[in-house]
Structure 1
Amino acid sequence: MLTLDVDSVRAFVAIADLKSFTQAANLLGTTQAALSLRLKRLEERVKRRLIERTPRQVRLSSYGELFIASARDFLEAHERAVESLLLAKKRLKLGIGCHLIGSELQSMLAKVNEFAPDLVLEISTDTSFQVKEAYLNGELDAVILRSEDERKEGFILCIEHYSWYASPSFQYSPNEPLKLATLDEKCGVRDQAPMLLKRAGLKSHNVLVAGNTDVINAAISAGMAVGVFSQRMAPKDSIDVGELFNLPTLPTSSIELHTHLTDQETRKVLKVICSVFNEYTAEELAVY
């Protein structure tokens, strides 16, 4: 298969346009001897004389006339290919469990922007189950999700410690059912809460079920109910009422990173993203 050298074709086009070896050499920043060598290499490659050179003029040969348009197209295609690589931006498709990121989001984005300002970061949020399914289907490069599974399939970023949180104004009597506000997303810890209360001889009932943490936070701040939160995600104006109300201890869960990416640059970005989680040491990712 015949292949063409870009520099040789560029030399041919420059000579054809300027009709001068001297001017073409100056344009390309080379010597006349080097330019002549490139042209000779191209003519030997295509087995045709492309430039006619006499003491008085430099002009295209009949084969040169046939080749010049294709030569220009060849150089333009080469330039487009190179430009596409130079302008291409690194993309990272990241899935995050929608109830995992709170105030850390702004800090995370600021750190990513500082570390990799040219990165195109595509963030998808959904339930931990859904983002994991998307990852397993190859739709995401990496996911950060909550897991109550004893089998730790990903890299543990931090352990989430849970408790019962309420407004300081919330009133509770052990003789009455504990009012709860909960998310409708399946969560092993929250799902166990009513059972743990029952085992402790305490009654409870849901007074609010919502799919958005903002709604739950508002209910807690309004003194409407008690909510189960990780210490990291508890509303700022709430207090831990677990000990105050003599409520049972809640189990922990882990936040995990799952990724199939191996290139070092992207993994460095993931370290930056994961470093926002309080108990996570970024250097540990190197052994994952």
Structure 2
Amino acid sequence: MRLSLVSRHPFEYPVDPDICHFILKWMAMKSLDVSAVKAFVLTAELQSFTRAADVLGTAQSAISLKLARLETQLGRRLLERTPRSVRLSAEGLAFLDAARELVATHDRAAKSFETQPRRLVVGVSHLIVGSALPALLRQMRHHDPALQLEMRVAGTRDLMQAYERREVEASLVLRPDDRRKQGRVAFSQSFHWFAAADWKPQREQPLPLATQGESCRVRNAAVRALDRAGIGWNEIFVGKGAAVVGAAAAAGFAVAPLARQTAPANTIDIGSRLRLPAIPAQDVLLYSALNDARSRDALRILCLAFQ
């Protein structure tokens, strides 16, 4: 006996709309470009096309093109773009967790055979540790799961001594006073005058300052700028670390010269309102003798966390 299988017409079978929707969605997700999804995750977390491009080592235009294609493929607008900011749309927020999971799974698979553990000890100046750090550290963990990163957060002088004693393998610090030559400029850090949102100056009183004392390069640059502008000042709070100085500003106690990313959430830049002079930007130098590609990649991503 000879059997033959003949397909029935597809419309002769009952069709469940939910199943069809699931299959179509699965097919679309199956063909997603992981590099585009990674670009979306970074752009969402860093709120910047430029910084996402820096992390991925590509151009901003390439990131924009990847995201446009991803949005077209999904039929959803994932990001709201304005001239001054990038933020998640409602649909982008709904997609973000799944996108993170997809990227993390892909990176783990890609690194399956690179399981050799690596310990990297890095010193970072407390003057530049900002709010973008968690997102970049997460990206670093996904990029190299076997990398054990250890961080020492302190002042420039302490970190340079630790570097010379080989207690840390790399240091990211404001340019030391002795102008050491072996470091390379990672970026230029700007500083501004921050105070509590409801802070008001006292009439005919010197500007109350919160600083880290005379050993701090930022403090010295700030008070020199005030002196040149003929603005009186009084150093009423001295503490160690940007978080401590920022707390004095947030409490309405004083005005603090801080990097924008280190300023507390409830403070504002009052420089233009009070016509305070600009604080000269400071070079941030990376000191490292590490030459292997794995370490260089890790340090490149780490530097981006503080810009």
So what's the TM-score if we normalise by structure 2? Answer: 0.57
- Partner residue in 2 for 1:130: 158
**Distance change (3 Å), C-alpha of 1:97 and 1:234:** same
Counterpart for residue 286 of structure 2: 257
Considering only aligned residues, what root-mean-square deviation do their CA atoms show, in Å? 2.3
After superposition, residues 92-111 of structure 1 pair within 5 angstroms as 92-111=120-139
Contact 2:119/2:148 (<8 A) preserved: yes
Alignment of 1:41-52 (within 5 A): none
Corresponding residue for 2:238? Answer: 209
Whether 1:242 and 2:271 are equivalent positions in the alignment is yes
Structure with larger Rg = 1
**Partner of 1:168 in structure 2?**
197
User: Is the Cα contact below 8 Å between 1:102 and 1:233 reproduced in 2?
Assistant: yes
Alignment partner of 1:198 is 2:227: yes
Equivalent of 1:233 in 262, 272, 277: 262
CA distance change for structure 1 residues 206 and 232 in 2, over 3 Å: closer, same or farther?
same
- Aligned CA distance change for structure 1 residues 248 and 87 (closer, same or farther; 3 Å): closer
1:269 aligned partner: 298
What is the distance in 2 between the residues matched to 1:152 and 1:250? 24
- CA separation in 2, counterparts of 1:139 and 1:241? 39
Q: Separation in 2 of the partners of 1:209 and 1:113?
A: 36
SS of the residue aligned with 2:305? coil
1:120 aligns with 2:148: yes
Runs of 4+ aligned structure 1 residues displaced above 6 Å come to: none
- Shift in Å, 1:269: 1.5
Any idea what the Cα deviations from partners look like across 1:140-182, whole Å, max 9, x if unmatched?
2111111166776422222111221111211114621111111
- Quote the Cα distance in structure 2 between the aligned partners of 1:208 and 1:201: 21
Distance 1:192 1:270, change over 3 A: closer
Query: Cα–Cα, structure 1 residues 124 and 185, in superposed 2: closer, same or farther, change >3 Å?
Result: farther
- Deviation of 1:102 after TM superposition, in Å, equals 2.3
For this pair of structures, how many residues does the alignment match? Answer: 193
Which residue, 206, 210, 215 being the options, matches 1:177? Answer: 206
Identical-residue share of aligned pairs (%): 30
